[in-house]
């Protein structure tokens, strides 16, 4: 397919200076020939076992005939923006559901996530005085790594739920069977989600003159809502001032936005089937999302997930906990970004505040010493999951804030750029994480605990995080 032909009507407005396309194909000499299926010769952790090979082949062949969800020209535009963030001139905002679900899908759900991300980006742009790169954990965030392969309830043991792209949540043997055709359904839902996002990003919804209208209905009544309202009024005044002095505030810069998608690169048959060769550059791109990341549990150096990602042209992320040593991180950089291209690799740090203060300085030092190009971003939620006495998996706002503070403190000490944040959040009024100015407590978790996997920040909690970061970056 010719990727660039699609760019003008895409989610992406501009393509500028930095020529990331000129990079030679990324094959790490030590690791041999790459192909979209070379991962099959490696050990793939967290991969579902399908009991019917013909059924799997059928689903993969269907996906191979489907059109790409994103296009190489868009992917390169994201890479260019990330390259700037890598040089300290940009901030990456990633957010969305822990797991998308077939049942939860509807236009309002997509719109609510999209608009809280817009709100957050506006607050962050103002605070950091930097471009904010908006990436949704959307249109493909279906597959989940699990700590236990099986789930036991009473004396019944069944395979764990691994996300709707693999099996179903209901606790029956039939629902928990790995069904390859779920991949095709996930593809079609992702196509719908992307269609909505493209319309919102470029069709007038994201026009900055509508910034008052982005406030979420339920947030409106909260402290964060009125804080956003005041903030929006300030931005409105600046816009009126710009207009008065002759700036064209109806141009694309104000009327449209770039919006990108990302998900965990976990289910390799799906990713492989959507990996296509770009006819303009001859490079392979995984056209399931603009950016893909490898999770903490699948980032083994000799594993299938690193093998797959090292050959694709997309910007990549990798999640790291305190278990990651400096040597390991340097090896990850060499494998995932062999040409050391700025913007290609984002390190997503998720450790919990205490471990982060202890471990992150050594990791940054190693990267600085070896001159590796990376973007450091904070995932302040995955290191802070706990179970309440009444059985809910939750996260406390105080712990999330403490990890963010630690992340910014360490980067300040080390002279490195705190390049972004990665959150599990939704625009909806869920009660899954406790604390913040929202009034969610352990007792009210049951009210609207809707997540299909990990607990998400609700719209007002997510906005509060944006204000906290913006304040920190203004310093």
| The two structure tokens encoding residue 435 | 């604390």
Q: Are 164 and 312 in contact (CB under 8 A)?
A: no
Question: DSSP string spanning 413-427?
Answer: HHT--EEEEEEEB-S
Q: What is the dihedral of CA 168, 172, 178, 181, to 10 degrees?
A: -60
Q: Tell whether 424 is in a known binding site.
A: yes
How many other C-beta atoms can be found within 10 angstroms of the C-beta atom of residue 220? 13
* Cβ 296 to ligand PEP shortest distance, Å: 4
Residue closer to ligand PEP, measured from CB, 84 or 350: 350
Can you tell me which of 296, 403, 429, 432 binds ligand PEP, judged by CB under 6 A? Answer: 296
Q: Tell whether 382 is in a known binding site.
A: yes
Can you tell me which of 176, 263, 283, 350 binds ligand PEP, judged by CB under 6 A? Answer: 350
Instruction: Mark residues 244-273: x for contact with ligand PEP by CB under 6 A, - for none.
Output: --------------------x---------
Going by their DSSP bridges, the two strands 316-320 and 345-349 should be labelled as: parallel
The answer to whether 97 contacts Mn ion (rule: CB under 5 A) is: no
Binding region for Mn ion (CB under 5 A) out of 38-46, 286-294, 310-318, 446-454: 446-454
The answer to whether 96 contacts ligand PEP (rule: CB under 6 A) is: no
Can you tell me which of 145, 225, 342, 435 binds ligand PEP, judged by CB under 6 A? Answer: 145
> Residue 448 in 3-state DSSP?
coil
Q: Tell whether 66 is in a known binding site.
A: no
* Cβ 286 to ligand PEP shortest distance, Å: 17
Can you tell me which of 76, 305, 319, 344 binds ligand PEP, judged by CB under 6 A? Answer: 319
Q: Tell whether 79 is in a known binding site.
A: no
Q: Tell whether 263 is in a known binding site.
A: no
Q: Tell whether 319 is in a known binding site.
A: yes
Say which entry of ligand PEP, Mn ion, none residue 145 contacts (CB below 5 to 8 A, set by partner kind).
ligand PEP
The answer to whether 454 contacts Mn ion (rule: CB under 5 A) is: yes
Q: Tell whether 324 is in a known binding site.
A: no
Question: DSSP string spanning 278-332?
Answer: -TTT--EEETT-SEEEE-TTS--TTBHHHHHHTT--S-EEEEE-TT--HHHHHHH
| Full 3-state SS string of 157-211 | EEECCCCCCCCCCCCCCCCCCCCCHHHHHHHHHHHHHHHHHHHHHHCCCCCHHHC
> Residue 457 in 3-state DSSP?
strand
CA distance 235 to 239: 6
Q: Where are the alpha helices (DSSP H) in 72-156?
A: 72-86, 107-128
Positions touching Mn ion (CB under 5 A) are 98, 454
Positions touching ligand PEP (CB under 6 A) are 98, 145, 264, 295-297, 319, 350, 382, 454
The binding site for Mn(2+) consists of 98, 382, 424, 454
């Amino acid at each position: 397919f010719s990727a660039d032909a699609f760019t003008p009507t895409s989610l992406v407005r501009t393509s500028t200076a930095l020529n990331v396309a000129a990079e030679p194909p990324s094959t790490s000499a030590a690791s041999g020939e790459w192909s979209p299926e070379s991962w099959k010769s490696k050990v793939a952790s967290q991969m579902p076992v399908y009991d019917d090979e013909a059924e799997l082949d059928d689903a993969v062949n269907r996906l191979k005939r489907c059109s790409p969800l994103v296009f190489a020209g868009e992917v390169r535009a994201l890479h260019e923006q990330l390259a700037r963030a890598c040089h300290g001139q940009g901030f990456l905002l990633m957010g969305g559901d822990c797991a998308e679900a077939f049942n939860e899908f509807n236009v309002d759900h997509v719109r609510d996530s999209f608009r809280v991300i817009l709100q957050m980006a506006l607050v962050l742009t103002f605070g950091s005085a930097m471009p904010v790169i908006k990436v949704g954990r959307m249109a493909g965030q279906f597959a989940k790594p699990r700590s236990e392969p099986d789930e036991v309830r009473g004396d019944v043991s069944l395979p764990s739920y691994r996300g709707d792209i693999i099996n179903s949540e209901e606790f029956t043997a039939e629902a928990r069977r790995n069904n390859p055709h779920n991949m095709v359904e996930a593809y079609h839902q992702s196509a719908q989600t992307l269609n909505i996002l493209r319309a919102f990003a470029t069709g007038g919804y994201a026009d900055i003159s509508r910034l008052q209208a982005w406030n979420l209905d339920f947030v409106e009544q909260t402290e964060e809502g009125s804080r956003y309202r005041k903030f929006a009024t300030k931005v409105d005044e600046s816009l009126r001032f710009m207009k008065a002095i002759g700036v064209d505030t109806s141009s694309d810069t104000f009327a449209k936005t770039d919006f990108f998608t990302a998900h965990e690169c976990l289910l390799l048959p799906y990713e492989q089937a959507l990996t296509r060769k770009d006819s303009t550059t001859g490079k392979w791109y995984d056209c399931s999302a603009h950016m893909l990341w490898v999770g903490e549990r699948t980032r083994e150096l000799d594993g299938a997930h690193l093998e797959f990602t090292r050959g694709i042209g997309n910007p990549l992320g990798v999640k790291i906990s305190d278990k990651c040593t400096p040597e390991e991180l340097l090896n990850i950089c060499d494998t995932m970004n062999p040409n050391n291209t700025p913007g290609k690799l984002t390190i997503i740090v998720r450790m919990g505040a205490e471990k982060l203060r202890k471990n992150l300085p050594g990791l940054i030092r190693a990267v600085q010493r070896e001159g590796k190009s990376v973007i450091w971003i904070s995932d302040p939620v995955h290191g802070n999951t706990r179970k309440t006495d009444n059985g809910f998996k939750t996260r406390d706002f105080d712990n999330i804030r403490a990890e963010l503070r630690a992340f910014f403190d360490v980067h300040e000490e080390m002279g490195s750029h705190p390049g972004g944040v990665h959150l599990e959040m939704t625009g909806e009024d869920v009660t899954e994480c406790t604390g913040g100015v929202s009034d969610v407590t352990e007792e009210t978790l049951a009210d609207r605990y809707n997540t299909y996997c990990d607990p998400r920040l609700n719209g007002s909690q997510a906005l509060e995080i944006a204000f906290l970061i913006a304040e920190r970056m203004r310093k």
